[in-house]
Structure 1
Amino acid sequence: MPPANDTTNYDETCPLLRTSNPHTTEAQIAEKPKPTPLPKGQLAALCVVRLVDPIAFTQVFPYVNEFMSDLHLTDDPSKIGFYSGLVESIFAISQLCSIYHWAKISDVIGRRPVIFLGIIGLTMSTLMFGLSKSLASVLLVRCLGGLFSGNIAVIHSVLGEITDSTNQMVALPIYGLTWPLGSIIGPLIGGTFSHPASKYPKILGYQFLKNYPYFLPCFIASVIAIIGVFLGFLFLEETLPSKRICKKSGSSTASTNGECAIIAPALPDKPFGVSKLLSIPIISALALSGFTLSYLATSFDVVFVLFCYSPIESGGLAFSASQIGYSLATAGAIAAAIQLCIMSYLLRTFESAKLYNFCMALWPYTFLVLPILNLIARAGSDETTGELGTATIAFLWVGIAFVLMLTKVASLAYSISMILTKENAPNAASLGQSNGIVQFAMCFARSFAPFLVSSLFAISVEYNLLGGYLWVAIMVTVSFLGTTMSRKIEQHSAKTIG
């Protein structure tokens, strides 16, 4: 960051971290900067804390349609998706209302208290979800969960504050593993432990679990969250520059490599307001494209579960909750492999903005593959029993693995968006709010995407629009529009560099 007595005017064309000074020689410029030592302890603690959210969020997916069916809200199976989409939308709407406020509060009181308060609230709401017996109670607890999950932008800001441009290519793939890892564990918990009394009567045949068949997966997710809070409290340090305390001297400090460096008395950077941040072209482009990315990714997650749950004759695959859980766990394993094996290479090899644009261009094809899977199921099902042959099942799982691989490569855009936001934030004090704006846009899309896409799926099937595949045509169209929006990021990024 520029020194306090530097009177130069800084705008959106100035990088967040200055890489040289006016007295730097040509030899020093040509020399490759030495990577800053990665704060491994801080990164590990942050990953543990981050793991809580995807586990609590995704453990619902395998059984949410079955849950809505058990509430006897409708006699028409094709309309179950309407209610499951409503459950997901209310979560995102609540998150939308809180995300920017959490980010702004964390810029004042610090990152740690906001993160821990959010996780504790998410833990309690997850536990109450398993005890819900009506649609009203389900919507209420999901609303509370969404409000407390608004701290995601704060967690992203912590990652930005413990890394810099020399080590983020190593840190980001490690941090990026938390969501796919959580999306492996969560669906496995949800698919394995829903209706435990009927699945495991000798071990878990308790009357309480018969009355509340979805309590056990929520309880397990809550226990993991409590462990995450405990470990985070012990090991996660405050990263907000104005709140850091040097353990050696007890003074406020600034550091990127873990060493204590006492800050000289100076005026801190002032955070930009929302209107000023949005006037920066690259920030507004990131928010707009983030909106599209979140809409597409959320829509796919919702429609994929609904597609797997629906009968074959209704355009689905007729999977059980356990099979849906396994498919979602497969998706998480694929995402983890991508993050671990190729993410770091991609970040080192390709420019972030171009890589982001490539990921966005994959979304149309993810939706196009789904109806092909249904056609395979239709062709391979027995006319008498409706059961699928061994070869058909094998083809289906290969197809599922392929489409999930496409979605996980496309979803790398989330991680790249974090890098682009950090690189283009006008100053360190505005990093939290910059992340808040981008995450707000993403949550806004997530607030109505589940309801919209599930309703579109139901209408397409019920009225046999385009053979029941109208939802595919619309999502592919939206995906192509999303690629045009992502190009603006590359354009503005090129202008900034120039």
Structure 2
Amino acid sequence: MHTTSVSSASLITLQDDSSVEGIPVDESTALLSNVDQNVVEGQVSKPVKMTPIPKLQLATICLVRLLEPIGFTQLFPYINEMVVNLNMIDDPSKVGFISGLVESVFAIFQLISIYHWAKISDVVGRRPIVLLGAIGMGLMTFLFGFSRNLTYMLITRSIHGFFAGNIAVVHSVLGELSDPTNQAVILPIYALCWPLGVIIGPMLGGTFSNPADKFPLLDVPLLRQYPYAMPCLASAAFSAFGATLAYFLMEETLPSKAKQAPKPSKKAKSYGSVPFPPTAASLSARELFAIPFLQSLIVSGFALSFISAAFDAIFVLFAYTPIEVGGLAFSASQIGYSLSIAGCLSCFIQLFITPILLRRFSCAKMYHVCMSFWFLPFVVLPFLNLILRNGRDESGEILPHARAMVWSGIILVMLVCRLTCLAYSFSMVLAKEGAPNPSSLGATNGLVQMSMSLARTFSPAFSSSTFAASIDSNILGGHLWVMVLAGIACLGSLASARIVNESSAKKY
């Protein structure tokens, strides 16, 4: 999506591919916010034809995008149980810290690699980096299932995160496959991959953990010895399939490496917010961070990732914790079903709500709206525990009406959470708009994703430790974690407000 500077001294005509042709505008004319607007100052514009969607390429990159959320979330339902059953700790109160550490090392090594993968892809091409990442993630997920000690878990999880650093490259491929005329269709489809992965991953983890106890046909010595190998094997199978499909079907999208790269125009084109010729060199990280719009997007992306990762860690720990000490006492299967509900809600939102929002509203404003409601899920969770505390009979069994209310509450919490997670979709559009030239798209996505990974490096451990400290010390009735995380969510909303200001400044 391009922007045009307007002066009071002259009339101009919007001439790039995403604008309406031949319609004079001045300072009193509202700038076009999307390609569907076709009436300006009482004149009817020429309809803009949507660029054909590369269906096969989009399907391939969507499958590759599925691999990260599946591999990342498939251990959520059983990680706390795994830490306890494998005797990795002496004090049960440390379960949250250990599980948070296992989740955090993934983000640490993703942080280390993410910008470097993105920069390398700007030189060698997107395809080899995507393939290498898919193969590496699958192999490390498979090996994680054979963990017998904490050191082995941390090593495999770290290398998994290193290969998952190719996420910025996958985003760059999407940016090169789409343009302002078709992104309202392509982006929601692509954005479905994360919620689908969040459905598939926890379902694999909750269903296939301890398979020898659940399925008579799988009651074999190997799965008795390694009760968590089966979900990891299933997750690795997705990676193997994705890598195979990408090898045979994925085409290179980096303009300088693509087989049918378009000939560069002699005229300078506007890409994002700054005019650059198509052959402009990739900017360094320092130069990119000096752009005010990108600076705001990077900072707010950090806040978004911190909050969402904190909720993921807190919800799993909260659901696993006994009712008496402030949780829901859910089994691994129930935790998996809860996370799958969130994924189903995300799919619905991405299919039926996101396209409308992308066409009708400013991405910057919707990004800020999503960030402004992140405090709600944290505030609602303690009430679910209160329902269970007061919904038991004399024998301690949970009454049916209380259980129904809790599951209704979980659906409500997950709905709000998935709506606020739409900020990730808007962030992808904003990153593409903010890239100063095509050669810097990979590096731009790398910086934004790196800030998000930085937040994920310590957010799970911080939130889990805060939860444990609140329970142990009974601070604010064991609810100090609610105040801390809701407060951080509010600070994140303030950070996202800068995006709206910078976006407005770009347009005028």
Q: Same fold (TM over 0.5)?
A: yes
User: Aligned runs of 1:436-451 on 2, under 5 Å?
Assistant: 436-451=446-461
Q: Which amino acid aligns with 1:81?
A: G
Once the 2 structures are TM-superposed, how far is the Cα of residue 333 of structure 1 from its aligned partner? 0.4
- CA distance in 2 between counterparts of 1:349 and 1:163 reads 18
Match of 1:306 in 2: 317
User: Within the alignment, does 1:467 sit opposite 2:482 as a pair?
Assistant: no
- CA distance in 2 between counterparts of 1:481 and 1:449 reads 15
Q: Evaluate the alpha carbon distance shift between residue 206 and residue 20 of structure 1 in structure 2; reply closer, same or farther with a 3 A threshold.
A: closer
TM-score (norm 2): 0.89
Any conservation in 2 of the 1:81–1:306 contact (CA below 8 Å)? yes
- CA distance in 2 between counterparts of 1:434 and 1:185 reads 30
Match of 2:143 in 1: 128
- CA distance in 1 between counterparts of 2:486 and 2:497 reads 17
Q: Which amino acid aligns with 2:442?
A: G
Any conservation in 1 of the 2:200–2:340 contact (CA below 8 Å)? yes
Match of 1:258 in 2: none
User: Of residues 361, 373, 378 in structure 2, which corresponds to 1:350?
Assistant: 361
Any conservation in 2 of the 1:90–1:142 contact (CA below 8 Å)? yes
Once the 2 structures are TM-superposed, how far is the Cα of residue 20 of structure 1 from its aligned partner? 7.5
Q: Which amino acid aligns with 1:39?
A: P
RMSD of the TM alignment (CA)? Answer: 2.0
Q: Please list the CA deviations of residues 375-405 of structure 1 after superposition, one character each: whole Å capped at 9, or x if unmatched.
A: 1111112343x32111111000000000000
Q: Which amino acid aligns with 1:357?
A: H
Match of 2:341 in 1: 330
- Number of residue-to-residue matches in the alignment: 467
User: Aligned runs of 1:150-161 on 2, under 5 Å?
Assistant: 150-161=165-176
- CA distance in 1 between counterparts of 2:422 and 2:300 reads 14
- CA distance in 1 between counterparts of 2:194 and 2:318 reads 23
Q: Which amino acid aligns with 1:238?
A: E
Once the 2 structures are TM-superposed, how far is the Cα of residue 235 of structure 1 from its aligned partner? 1.4
Match of 1:7 in 2: none
Match of 1:341 in 2: 352
- CA distance in 2 between counterparts of 1:238 and 1:373 reads 49
Q: Which amino acid aligns with 1:275?
A: R
Q: Which amino acid aligns with 2:418?
A: K
Match of 1:261 in 2: none
Match of 2:73 in 1: 58
Q: Evaluate the alpha carbon distance shift between residue 254 and residue 232 of structure 1 in structure 2; reply closer, same or farther with a 3 A threshold.
A: farther
Match of 1:237 in 2: 251
Q: Which amino acid aligns with 2:232?
A: C
Any conservation in 2 of the 1:308–1:318 contact (CA below 8 Å)? yes
Match of 1:480 in 2: 490
User: Within the alignment, does 1:370 sit opposite 2:378 as a pair?
Assistant: no
Greater fraction helix: 1
User: Within the alignment, does 1:171 sit opposite 2:182 as a pair?
Assistant: no
Q: Which amino acid aligns with 2:96?
A: G
- CA distance in 2 between counterparts of 1:286 and 1:102 reads 20
Q: Which amino acid aligns with 2:111?
A: L
Any conservation in 2 of the 1:128–1:141 contact (CA below 8 Å)? yes
Match of 1:226 in 2: 240
- CA distance in 1 between counterparts of 2:394 and 2:166 reads 51
Any conservation in 1 of the 2:127–2:251 contact (CA below 8 Å)? yes
User: Within the alignment, does 1:420 sit opposite 2:434 as a pair?
Assistant: no
Residue 256 of structure 2 aligns to a residue whose secondary structure is helix
Q: Which amino acid aligns with 2:58?
A: L
User: Of residues 303, 310, 318 in structure 1, which corresponds to 2:329?
Assistant: 318
- CA distance in 1 between counterparts of 2:48 and 2:389 reads 58
Any conservation in 1 of the 2:18–2:181 contact (CA below 8 Å)? no
User: Aligned runs of 1:154-303 on 2, under 5 Å?
Assistant: 154-200=169-215, 202-246=216-260, 252-253=261-262, 268-303=279-314
Once the 2 structures are TM-superposed, how far is the Cα of residue 253 of structure 1 from its aligned partner? 3.6
- CA distance in 2 between counterparts of 1:337 and 1:361 reads 21
Greater displacement, 70-79 / 233-242: 70-79
- CA distance in 1 between counterparts of 2:295 and 2:64 reads 29
Once the 2 structures are TM-superposed, how far is the Cα of residue 373 of structure 1 from its aligned partner? 0.7
Any conservation in 1 of the 2:278–2:437 contact (CA below 8 Å)? no
Any conservation in 2 of the 1:195–1:213 contact (CA below 8 Å)? yes
Q: 5+ unaligned residues in a row in structure 2: which ranges?
A: 3-14, 26-37, 265-276
Q: Please list the CA deviations of residues 282-305 of structure 1 after superposition, one character each: whole Å capped at 9, or x if unmatched.
A: 101000000000000000000000
Instruction: Work out the percentage of aligned pairs sharing the same amino acid.
Output: 50
User: Of residues 347, 359, 363 in structure 1, which corresponds to 2:370?
Assistant: 359
- Higher RCO (Cα < 8 Å, 6 or more apart): 1
Any conservation in 2 of the 1:245–1:253 contact (CA below 8 Å)? no
Residue 380 of structure 1 aligns to a residue whose secondary structure is coil
Match of 1:95 in 2: 110
Q: Please list the CA deviations of residues 404-429 of structure 1 after superposition, one character each: whole Å capped at 9, or x if unmatched.
A: 00000000000100000101211111
Q: 5+ unaligned residues in a row in structure 1: which ranges?
A: 3-16, 247-251, 256-265
Any conservation in 1 of the 2:202–2:336 contact (CA below 8 Å)? yes
Once the 2 structures are TM-superposed, how far is the Cα of residue 24 of structure 1 from its aligned partner? 5.2
Q: Evaluate the alpha carbon distance shift between residue 469 and residue 253 of structure 1 in structure 2; reply closer, same or farther with a 3 A threshold.
A: same
Once the 2 structures are TM-superposed, how far is the Cα of residue 33 of structure 1 from its aligned partner? 2.5
Q: Evaluate the alpha carbon distance shift between residue 196 and residue 279 of structure 1 in structure 2; reply closer, same or farther with a 3 A threshold.
A: same
Any conservation in 2 of the 1:241–1:254 contact (CA below 8 Å)? no
TM-score (norm 1): 0.91
Q: Which amino acid aligns with 1:297?
A: S
Q: Evaluate the alpha carbon distance shift between residue 170 and residue 20 of structure 1 in structure 2; reply closer, same or farther with a 3 A threshold.
A: closer
Q: Which amino acid aligns with 2:391?
A: G
Once the 2 structures are TM-superposed, how far is the Cα of residue 115 of structure 1 from its aligned partner? 0.6
